[in-house]
A and B are shown apart, each in its own frame.
Chain A
């Protein structure tokens, strides 16, 4: 029991000493001021050359939404119109077929 207590105490003590050594080894280093200034200037010049990205205003959002709605409606109307055109073309075709068939039937009767 005493031995275990002694060992634990010794381990804690050595751990504490080790932490002290770490504390003395890992100390903050100060970067070279010239490096800090050069990098700051470099970043500033890069910021100036970057395109400005700002959030769109409410007016812009409304304008974009209206334009989107308008173009959407236009596409919808165009779609409906094209469907009607296809349907009417099909109707015309079927009428044309029917008229041809009607023309053929009297001819065939005369042959008989």
Chain B
């Protein structure tokens, strides 16, 4: 097993020699091939590339930092154990990781079977300061309410919104990961927005009354 850092030089992939300048330029495909051969450094490259995305996905699905960290760790441990069995089906590597994350989050929801809430202090993070503190508090409350409504959506719809807004993915990329056509993603997105807005308005109306 090779754990030394790859610097400039040749690497052997599928009996072909390829010149690399640095680890950063390794494509997912190459890093995957090396990682499947037991290369810890190549797996490290993939880890660094996807840790943030997987963490974000799990964070918005679970609603708290502690579970997000725990499940993210499990995703990568599972990926590492099964990377030898990874089969390239023309989908991006991230699709495989998201699939693992999706399954683990589903198990987590089944085990917990309780509604999670985004902690207020987390909701405040990243919120742009406003001139009027009252207005700012209202905005924070709106955001918290919205995230709570988001958690009531089906896993597919939550996934779609996270990909769309957090990951800033295009419909084509989302379709690749979710195994849907671009048109189906567009349609699902529209329906999701409508139902989310309705639920959000119902909740807001309930609070006002």
Residues of A within 8 A of B (CB): 14-15, 18-19, 21-32, 35-36, 39-40, 42-44, 46-48, 50, 52-55
Contact = CB atoms under 8 A, between A and B. Distances in A.
B108 interface: no
Interface string B24-54: 0000000000000110100110011001100
Contacts of A21: 142-143, 146
B172 to A, nearest CB: 19
Contact of B69 (A15, A22, A31, A48): A31
B44 A42 contact: no
11 contacts: A15-B193, A21-B143, A22-B146, A22-B196, A24-B128, A25-B143, A39-B72, A43-B76, A44-B3, A46-B80, A53-B84
B48 to A, nearest CB: 8
Contacts of B162: 26
A25 B3 contact: no
Given A35-B69, A39-B72, A48 B3 contact: yes
A44 B69 contact: no
A15 B197 contact: yes
Contact of A29 (B40, B126, B194): B126
B38 A52 contact: yes
B1 interface: yes
Given A30-B52, A31-B55, A39-B72, 19 more contacts: A21-B142, A21-B146, A22-B146, A22-B165, A24-B127, A26-B60, A26-B165, A26-B166, A27-B165, A28-B52, A31-B69, A39-B73, A40-B48, A43-B44, A43-B77, A44-B44, A46-B77, A47-B80, A50-B80
> Could you say which of B1, B43, B60 has the most chain A C-beta atoms within 10 Å of its C-beta?
B1
A40 B55 CA distance: 14
Nearest to A19: B193
A11 to B, nearest CB: 9
Contacts of B127: 24
B101 interface: no
A103 to B, nearest CB: 72
Contacts of B52: 28, 30-31
B100 interface: no
A39 B76 contact: yes
Contacts of A29: 55-56, 59, 122, 125-126
Contacts of A14: 197
A18 B143 CA distance: 11
A46 to B, nearest CB: 6
B37 A54 contact: yes
Contacts of A18: 193, 196-197, 200
B51 A36 contact: yes
B124 to A, nearest CB: 11
Contact of A31 (B37, B72, B147): B72
